[in-house]
C-alpha cells in the first residue's frame, strides 16, 4: 500500500467515477483502475461497486475511507513539518472550474505564479464549481476559480473577476433574438454537472422555454464539432464562444440571455501563498467586489 493508491482511492470515492478521478489526478483511467485493483488485492476485499452509473463504495470501502483520509492527513502533516523548516517553502492547493474559456488564462496564471514563487509546492484540481466550493469549505483547497450565476455569491470570501453573457453558437445565421425563440430548438449542451449548463437550465426554466437537448457533451471540442456539422445550436458563455476552436461559428447574442460570473474564492483562513496568488488577479478584475479576508480597495 502506498500514498498514491490512497489518493486514487479517495479521488474515486469523492467523484463516484473512475473517469473523473483519473482526470482530477492527471493519470490515465486504466492506470488509476489498475492501482485501485492492486489496493483491493492487498486488502483482500472489493472497495467499490462498479456500474454504468459510476462507482460507489462497498461496506468495506466505506469503513476504509476515514482511515485512508487520516493516513493521508498524517502524511501531509509530516510533509509540512519538513517543509516548514525550509524558508519560503509553502504548499498551495488551487482549483478551477473545468471550462472557463478565455475568462481567465489559468495556464498563464499558474506559470507566472510558479515562476515568481519557485519554492511553492502547487497542487491543481480542475472540476465543476459545485464540487470546488465544498472543497474550499472543507479546507481541501486554498483558492479556486469558481463560476456562478450572475449576482450570486458562490462562497463568502470571493472576488468577482468577470461577468459575461451567454451567446448562441450555430454553423449558419439563425433568426433568434430571445430565449423564447429557442422553444423546441435542437441544442447541444454541456453535461448537467457543468456550471454553464446549470445557469442555462435555470434561465430557460424561468422563461418557460423547453428546448430539445439531443446531445450532452463533456468536451468543448465535441460540442463545437457537433454545432459545426449542423447537429444543433449551443448556448455557451461568451468567452467559451471566443475560443479559437469556435471562432468559425456564428455567434448570436440574445436580448435576455443569462449571464454567469467567474469568481476568485479562498478558504476561510487563506495562507500567505493563497493571498499572493489572489493578488495576481487584482489588475485583471473588470468588476471588483472583494469580501471578507480579501478586502482590498479598487
Q: Closest by alpha carbon to 268, among 288, 235, 292?
A: 292
Q: Which pLDDT tens digits describe the chain residue by residue (298 residues)?
A: 888 899 899 999 988 999 888 877 767 888 889 999 999 999 999 999 998 878 999 999 999 999 999 998 888 777 666 555 444 455 889 999 887 766 678 888 888 888 887 778 888 888 888 888 888 888 888 999 998 888 776 666 778 888 889 999 999 999 999 999 999 999 999 988 888 999 999 999 999 998 887 788 888 889 999 999 999 999 999 988 888 888 899 999 999 999 998 888 888 888 888 888 888 876 444 333 333 333 333 3
DSSP 115-140: HH-TTEEEEEEEE-HHHHHHHHHTTS
DSSP assignment, residue 147?
Answer: E
Residue 254's pLDDT is: 95
Instruction: Yes or no: say if 153 and 292 are a contact pair by the CB < 8 Å rule.
Output: no
Residue 193's pLDDT is: 83
Residue 2's pLDDT is: 85
Number of helices followed by number of strands (H, E) in the chain? 10, 11
How many Å separate Cα 113 from the centre of its chain?
Answer: 19
**Distance (Å) of CA 97 to CA 127, 132, 195, 289:** 5, 8, 8, 19
Grid cell of 259 as nine digits:
449571464
| CA angle at 161 for the pair 283 and 225, rounded to the nearest 5° | 115
Residue 154's pLDDT is: 64
Residue 62's pLDDT is: 94
| CA angle at 58 for the pair 57 and 62, rounded to the nearest 5° | 65
DSSP 66-93: HHHHHHHHHHHHHHHHHHTTSTT-EEEE
Amino acid at each position: 500500500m502506498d500514498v498514491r493508491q490512497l489518493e486514487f482511492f479517495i479521488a474515486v470515492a469523492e467523484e463516484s467515477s473512475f473517469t473523473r478521478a483519473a482526470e482530477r489526478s492527471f493519470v490515465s483511467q486504466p492506470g488509476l483502475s489498475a492501482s485501485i485493483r492492486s489496493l483491493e488485492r492487498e486488502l483482500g476485499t472489493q472497495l467499490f461497486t462498479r456500474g454504468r452509473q459510476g462507482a460507489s463504495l462497498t461496506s468495506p470501502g466505506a469503513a476504509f475511507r476515514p482511515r485512508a483520509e487520516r493516513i493521508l492527513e498524517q502524511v501531509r502533516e509530516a510533509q509540512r513539518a519538513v517543509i516548514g523548516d525550509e524558508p519560503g517553502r509553502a504548499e498551495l492547493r488551487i482549483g478551477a472550474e473545468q471550462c472557463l474559456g478565455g475568462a481567465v488564462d489559468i495556464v498563464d496564471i499558474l506559470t507566472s505564479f510558479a515562476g515568481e514563487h519557485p519554492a511553492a509546492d502547487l497542487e491543481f484540481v480542475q472540476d465543476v464549481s459545485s464540487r470546488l466550493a465544498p472543497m474550499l469549505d472543507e479546507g481541501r483547497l486554498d483558492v479556486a476559480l469558481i463560476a456562478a450565476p450572475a449576482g450570486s455569491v458562490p462562497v463568502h470570501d470571493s472576488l468577482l473577476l468577470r461577468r459575461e453573457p451567454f451567446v448562441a453558437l450555430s454553423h449558419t445565421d439563425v433568426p433568434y433574438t430571445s430565449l423564447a425563440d429557442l422553444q423546441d430548438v435542437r441544442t447541444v449542451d454541456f453535461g448537467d454537472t457543468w456550471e454553464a449548463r446549470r445557469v442555462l437550465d435555470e434561465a430557460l426554466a424561468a422563461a418557460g422555454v423547453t428546448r430539445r437537448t439531443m446531445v450532452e457533451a463533456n468536451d468543448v471540442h465535441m460540442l463545437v464539432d457537433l454545432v459545426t456539422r449542423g447537429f444543433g445550436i449551443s448556448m455557451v458563455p461568451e468567452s467559451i464562444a471566443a475560443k479559437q476552436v469556435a471562432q468559425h461559428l456564428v455567434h448570436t447574442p440574445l436580448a435576455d440571455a443569462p449571464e454567469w460570473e467567474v469568481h476568485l474564492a479562498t478558504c476561510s483562513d487563506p495562507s500567505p501563498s493563497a493571498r499572493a496568488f489572489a493578488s495576481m488577479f487584482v489588475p485583471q478584475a473588470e468588476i471588483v467586489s472583494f469580501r471578507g479576508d480579501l478586502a482590498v480597495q479598487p
